[in-house]
Amino acid sequence: MAKHTPIILTPFLQPRDEGAAEQRMYVAGFTDEAGEAWGTLIPLDAEMVEHAVLGQQTFTVWGNSDGRIQPQPSSDSLFEELLEKGQLKETPLDELVAEAIEQGKNEPDEEILDLFETLHERLVRAEGMVADEIARRRR
């Protein structure tokens, strides 16, 4: 019998429409060494994939010194990859506060007033910490 060269297949999972702003489907399958797909591509619902993948990931929040906030996955390699791809959206702190106020505008006072007071107290504490750091560095 003639010896056949083994075919090495590599699994992949990728967005079905890589150019879309929001993915609705992913496809999974195998590619050969030349990058050609082999066999049947399996369509997967985006929400199911994202829950499976991100459900195992822990995110924290990173605050930059200029007041921009961004999500930060606990995996350094994932953080670097998402950062390079521009997928870790930074949001200025004041925009987050404005959004929190906007979302609470239609809530009854008895339900939202305590939350706004807590937000205010935290912002005052934060402003004091920043002012202290500025003063320390100017000495």
pLDDT tens for 112-125 read 999 999 999 999 99
pTM of the model: 0.61
* DSSP class of 84: H
**Model pLDDT, residue 30:** 94
Residue 26, class by beta-carbon neighbours within 10 Å (0-12 exposed, 13-18 middle, 19+ buried)? buried
Residue 66 has pLDDT above 90, yes or no: yes
Distance CA 29, CA 41 (A): 5
> Could you report the per-residue pLDDT of 74-121, keeping only the tens digit for each?
888 888 888 888 888 899 999 999 999 999 999 999 889 999 999 999
66 or 78: whose pLDDT is higher? 66
- Burial class from Cβ neighbours inside 10 Å (0-12, 13-18, 19+) for residue 111 reads exposed
Which residues are paired to 44 by β-bridges? Answer: 26
Q: Are 72 and 79 in contact (CB under 8 A)?
A: yes
